[in-house]
Amino acid sequence: MTKAKQTVPWWSRFLKQFYLMRTKLIVSFLAVLLIPSILIGYFSYQSAKTQLRQQMGSSVNTNLNLIQGNINQYVSPIMKDMDVFASEFQSDSFITNADTIQARLDLITKAHPELDGVILGNAKGEYIRSPKRESTDYDPRQKTWYKLATAQDGKVIVGVPMTSASTGNLVVTISRTLTEGQGAIALNLSLDKMSESLNGISIGQRGGLFIVDAEHKLVSGAGAAFKSTGKKPADTITGLPELPKTAQGQSQEAPSMKQIQFMNRTVEAFSIVDPLTGWNVTALSDLEDYSDAAQPILKQSLIVIAISVLAAAVVIILMIRSFLIPLGKLQNGTREVRDGNLTARVNLSGKDEFSELAQNFDQMTHALHTMVSEVNQTSSRLASSSLMIKESTEQTTESVQHVAETVMESAENATTSAEASEQTANAVEEMAKGVSTIAESASSIVDSAGQTEHDVAKGSQMIGSVRTQMDRILEAVTQTASLMDELSQLSDDAKQMNSAIAAIAKQTNLLSLNASIEASRAGEAGRGFAVVAIEVRKLSEQSKESADSISQIITQMLDLIQRSTATMNGNVRNQVGEGLRISQDAEGAFTNIERSTSHIVEQIQSVSAAAEQISASTEEVSATVTHLASLSRNSADSSQTTSAAVQEQMAAMEEIASSSQELSNMAQDLQELVKRFKI
């Protein structure tokens, strides 16, 4: 049964994809592109927002000054006339000159249509008013305006806003004591026209304008914030900033500004105190209005960033493909060589570093292919030679065994010889010489066998050296693959820097163009775009730093390429040459084995010829065996000695056969090792 395939965790697949060079390149390029773009867009948006905030604040201050001027123009003439009116009337003549005073008051009311009414009162409780209206319970001494005026003799007092009981209009009472000090005059100034003049004023989309007196009574207002309160003139309003009171006629240097919470919204309050009336003129500017005003700039920045990202994405894809395609071919080539396919070729055309590296890789693979082919041929010849040695050794063993059998037969025949003749003695002497020749030949065979064993051992060492040399070649290939990985990493860094320069340069051009256009449109107000110019200069400095980094990385890349080329052309070729030399030494060793074997064959032939001579002599001795019994026994003893020597020679030949078998096994192992490579 086959085991169920284990499910790979999602995080493991994610990490595997993240560690890919393609993913790293994309992430790096996007980071280099998006981070500066987002920072530029953010700072541009904040800068524009700050500029708009300053401009809107300046506009609000201008409006406050204009409103203050309108108040002065509306109230100041009346306050100046108060001195004239106060000196014109006498408190003790209200009864005697009532008609004259009434006519004068009516004339004042008609001459000043902004007045809702005029009232004269004295310390006796007498009063005259215009428009004339009879009231038996009206006592001017109980009114607030009279009390305030008499409390501050000679000063013009501006009262709180209120609704006129006679006309229903919003009025503010301006009062002053008469010159002679026994009465007071009050003018009810209508605020309707002043309120109408404020209706066209707006402080942004959500802001508002408020005019309140020292008692927090609403004089007038305009704008969305004012309407949202639901307050009407003369109502009490809270939440506005408090301002220090100034003496009448003393003007405030400039409007004050603070950030407050009003109606659960964060606003900036610009306030100024009117020196004549003591009214607090406050303009509320909602912070969201600044954001809304800067929204077009933010949208434009986002559009520019989006276009830059799309354009850069195309460039990134093309650049990544230009790196990954040749790198993938190189990886496939090294993988096939690692698996033993020496016919693999990268075949990458071009003039860049990858093409040069691919050509060097193909040359290295070709050199390995040639070397392994020669080693394969050498191992085949070695196997054939070892087989021939084995067969020759077996034949030699059979011949020596046959000689031993012949010697034994001669010994037996010599034992049965009882007598010998003179002819037999001569034959025995010849047989002794033949036996001596056999002994010498056997000794020579032993020496040749020893030399053969030594040569076989040397051949084994040579084969071991060939295997070691092959390991060194594989190590050199591993070093080359490592250098290729470093080159790929440096190429990644170089492309990151290159993308950074391209993105920053493009964004710098766009910012410079926008700054020029906005500055030309804004005129004097365009000085606020200096912040944008500073950001552009920072981007230029970043471009220079990125260019320097790219120069250093490219220098390191070239150094690694030279090292990789030197490693392949130097180390690998030297190791291959060393492998060829060792193979040649092994071939020479086995040539010596062949020569030694040939010498053994010649010695065995000599032994065979000598044995034939002994056989012929033995036939001649057979006729006189009776006479040479004692000599035959001696000859038998010598034959036994010779037989023992031949047995020793047979044992040596068996050892040679065993060594030949081991040599054949090593040759087969070498062939199996070479078969790993496809040639």
Tell whether 315 is covered by a domain: no
- Is the N-terminal amide bond of 131 cis, ω within 30° of 0? yes
The domain boundary, picked from 289, 306, 326, lies at 289
Instruction: Report residue 270 as tokens.
Output: 């610009």
pLDDT of residue 625: 45
Asked if residue 9 is part of any domain, the answer here is no
- Report the number of distinct structural domains present in the chain: 2
Whether 76 is covered by a domain: the verdict is: yes
If asked whether residues 275 and 364 sit together in one domain, one would say: no
Whether 278 and 368 map to the same domain: the answer is no
Q: Does the residue 641 lie in any domain?
A: yes
Q: Please check whether residue 101 is in contact with residue 120, taking contact to mean a CB–CB distance below 8 angstroms.
A: yes
pLDDT digits (tens, 9 = 90+) for 46-100: 887 788 778 777 888 888 888 888 888 888 888 888 888 888 888 777 777 888 8
Among candidate residues 404, 402, 400, 403, the one with its CA nearest the CA of residue 392: 400
Query: How is residue 282 written in tokens?
Result: 């406050």
Whichever domain contains 282, its CATH number is 3.30.450.20
Most confidently modeled of 314-318, 339-343, 569-573?
314-318
Residue 333 backbone phi and psi in degrees, to 5:
-65, -50
Is 48 exposed, middle or buried (CB count within 10 Å of its CB: 0-12, 13-18, 19+)?
A: buried
The whole-number pLDDT of residue 569 equals 61
Would the pLDDT of 220 be above 70? Answer: yes
Give yes or no for residue 542 having a pLDDT over 60.
Answer: yes
Model pLDDT for residues 109-140, shown as the tens digit of each residue: 898 888 888 999 988 888 888 888 777 678 88
User: Domain of 527: which CATH number?
Assistant: 1.20.1270
Amino acid 382: pLDDT: 75
Classify 404 in phi/psi space as left (phi over 0), alpha (psi -120 to 50) or beta.
alpha
Q: Which residue has the higher pLDDT, 611 or 489?
A: 489
β-bridge partners, 190: 171
**Residues 283 and 358 reside in one and the same domain:** no
For helices 573-621 and 353-416, angle between their N-to-C axes, nearest 10 degrees:
10
Q: Please report whether residue 663 resides in a domain.
A: yes
Residue 323 lies in a domain: no
- Classify strands 170-177 and 157-163 as parallel, antiparallel or unpaired: antiparallel
Taking the CA atoms of 446, 452, 458 and 464 in sequence, report the sign of the dihedral they define: negative
Looking at the domain assignment, is residue 556 inside a domain?
yes
- Retrieve residue 620's tokens: 């001649």
Q: Which two tokens stand for residue 599?
A: 């010498």
Q: Looking at the structure, do residues 266 and 364 belong to the same domain, yes or no?
A: no
Both 285 and 359 in one domain: the answer is: no
For residue 192, give its domain range: 42-289
Q: Taking a C-beta distance cutoff of 8 angstroms, is the pair 203, 190 a contact?
A: no
Contact status, residue 428 vs residue 617, Cβ threshold 8 Å:
yes
Select, from the ranges 274-278, 423-427, 445-449, 622-626, the one with the highest average predicted confidence (pLDDT).
Answer: 274-278
The two three-digit tokens of residue 64, written as one number: 């406050």
Average pLDDT, the chain: 74
Sorted by sequence, the CB contacts under 8 Å of residue 437 that are 6+ apart come out as: 606, 607, 610
pLDDT tens digits along 231-254: 888 888 888 887 655 555 555 556
Assess whether 534 and 617 both reside in one domain: yes
Q: Which of 89, 102, 234 is nearest to 160 (CA)?
A: 234
Q: Give the three-state DSSP class for 10.
A: helix
> Are residues 362 and 257 located together in one domain of the fold?
no
Does residue 159 sit in helix, strand or coil?
strand
Arithmetic mean of pLDDT, 457-464: 64
What pLDDT shows up at residue 184? 92
- Judge whether 394 and 601 are in contact, CB under 8 Å: no
pLDDT for residue 32 is more than 60: yes
- Are residue 278 and residue 359 in the same domain, yes or no? no
CA distances from 180 to 84, 93, 360 (A): 13, 12, 119
Give the model's pLDDT for residue 3. 44
CA distance 643 to 656: 20
Q: Tell me the three state secondary structure of residue 514.
A: helix
pLDDT mean over 200-206: 79
Residue 615 predicted with pLDDT over 70: no
- Report residue 650: phi and psi, to 5°: -65, -40
The total number of residues shown for the chain amounts to 679
Interval 145-202: pLDDT, tens: 899 888 888 888 888 888 877 777 888 889 999 888 788 999 998 888 888 878 777 7
Which pLDDT value is given to residue 487?
60
Which of these three, 260, 289, 318, is where a domain ends? 289
Mean pLDDT, residues 204-230: 85
The rounded radius of gyration (Å) of the Cα atoms in the chain is: 62
Which of 2-6, 143-147, 637-641 has maximum average pLDDT?
143-147
Least confident window among 213-227, 228-242, 585-599, 638-652: 585-599
Residue 260 corresponds to which tokens in the numbers above? 């407050």
- Residue 383, pLDDT above cutoff 80: no
CB neighbourhood size of 474 (10 A): 13
Three-state SS for 295-345 is HHHHHHHHHHHHHHHHHHHHHHHHHHHHHHHHHHHHHHHHHHHHCCECCCC
Q: Where is average pLDDT lowest: 14-18, 275-279, 620-624?
A: 620-624
Q: How many CA atoms lie within 13 A of 487 on its CB side?
A: 27
Same domain, 232 and 365: no
Closest CA to 389 of 139, 608, 660: 660
The answer to whether the beta carbons of residues 474 and 677 sit under 8 Å apart is no
- What is the distance between the alpha carbons of residues 509 and 516, in angstroms, rounded to a whole number? 11
Share of residues in the chain with pLDDT > 90 (%): 1
Q: pLDDT at position 175, please?
A: 92
Highest mean pLDDT among 347-351, 446-450, 610-614: 347-351
Q: What is the DSSP letter of 153?
A: T
Last residue of a domain, one of 238, 273, 289: 289
In a domain, 391, yes or no: yes
Give the pLDDT confidence score for residue 16 in this predicted structure: 67
**Same domain as 390, residue 243:** no
Residues 549 and 669 reside in one and the same domain: yes
Express as a percent the part of the chain with pLDDT over 70: 60
